[in-house]
Amino acid sequence: MTELTDLDEASLAAHAAEWRRRALRGEKQARGIAHALETEMRRRTGDSILPTQGADLDTRPLALRQVKRPWWKFW
């Protein structure tokens, strides 16, 4: 992987989002890499990650992401 200091903000955000997606899919090494990239983003900007950068990641538990169906069928 390239040095974190060599990446600009846009590519750093893209890499962080991609590695976080991999971590959420269960890839073992991806969590640490995503954390390092996100830490570098916070260090550069001085605040937390903007909601627009991670908006496509749904980190809710599976039970909350699934649509609830009624137990009865409406004809």
Please write the tens of the pLDDT for every residue from 22-66: 998 889 899 999 999 988 888 888 765 555 555 567 777 877 878
Average pLDDT over residues 14-25: 90
Distance CA 23, CA 30 (A): 5
Greatest pairwise CA separation for the chain in angstroms: 60
pLDDT above 80 (res 2): no
The pLDDT confidence band at residue 7, using thresholds 50, 70 and 90, is confident
Residue positions counted in the chain: 75
